[in-house]
Every structure is written in C-alpha cells, then in structure tokens.
Structure 1
Amino acid sequence: MPTYQYYCTDNHQTLEVMHGMSATVETWGELCELAETDLGKTPADTPVEKLLGTGMVLSKKPDPADCTGPPAGGGCCGGMCSGH
C-alpha cells in the first residue's frame, strides 16, 4: 500500500499515512483517523493538502537498452539484464 504525506496549513503539521491509491483524504479528522493520532486543538473539518514527494520504483526490471558500458560486478544493471 502506498505511503502519502499530508500537510495541515492551520497547525503546520505533516503526517504520513498509508492508504489505497483510490482513497482520498481531505480533512484533518480523516487524516488523524488514518494515522491513529489525536486531533489535538485542530478542528476535524480543517482541510489538508497532499504533498508531492519523490517516488521510487522498487520492482521495475531494467531495460537492456539502458545498459551502457562493460558489465562490472554482476553487470551494469546488477545482473538483471539478459546477456550479462
């Protein structure tokens, strides 16, 4: 399940939660429920913003066309390209 960060402009807090890609989190109350944390003094209906982060693809197999140079220590793509 993907991890997302949300920011509340009212309390200047950022929380990280996991939820499905189709789920939407629009308020501090929804966010706190997912994060299993207390609302604090911030009203539950306060809007939150999803932050853009840097994604990392963990399971993509390298394209052999992207391999350049001689293979070293298991190949230029860690031995995942055919022919190395």
Structure 2
Amino acid sequence: MPTYDYHCPENQQTLTVQHGMKESIRTWGELCTRTQTEPGKTPLDASVERVISGGIALPIASPIPQLPMSGCCGNPSSCGHGH
C-alpha cells in the first residue's frame, strides 16, 4: 500500500499515512484517526493537504564505458572472415 504525507497548514504538522491510491484524507481529524495521533488543540475539521514528493531518490549509476566499434570477430576494421 502506498505511503503519503499530509500537511496541516493550521498547525504546520506533517504526518505520514498508508492508504489506497484512490483514497484521500481531507481533515486533521481523519488524519489523526488513521495515524493514531492525538489531535491536540487543532480543530478536527481543519483541512489537510497531500504533500507531493519527488518520489524515491536512487543513486545515478556511473556511465557504461563505450567500447570501440568492432566487426563480428572483434576486429575493429572488419570481421576477417574473408567476405
């Protein structure tokens, strides 16, 4: 199941929750219920926004070294089969 971050502008808190792709959370109360977080003084009907992230950062692999052009036998100028 995907993981999403939701931010509450009213209290400046961001919480992480897992839910299906078609689901969304709209209020601080819903978010607190799903994450088992105490709502504190923030009204339960305060709106939350899903944070758009850049996804998973993967290290960039080093470039593949370029090999010299070669014929079918590895000879750079021709295959050497006497064609």
TM-score range, shorter chain: 0.5 to 0.7
Which residue of the partner structure matches residue 15 of structure 2?
Answer: 15
TM-score, reference length from structure 2? 0.66
Gaps spanning 5+ residues in structure 1: where? Answer: 58-67, 71-84
Deviation per CA, 1:13-50: give whole Å up to 9, x if none: 00011111011100000000111111110010000010
Separation (CA, whole Å) in 2 of partners of 1:34 and 1:46: 15
Q: Which runs of 4+ in 1 moved over 2 A?
A: none
Which residue of the partner structure matches residue 33 of structure 1?
Answer: 33
Which residue of the partner structure matches residue 46 of structure 2?
Answer: 46
Q: What fraction of aligned residue pairs are identical, expressed as a percent?
A: 50
Gaps spanning 5+ residues in structure 2: where? Answer: 58-62, 66-83
TM-score, reference length from structure 1? 0.66
Structure of larger gyration radius = 2
Aligned Cα root-mean-square deviation (Å): 2.1
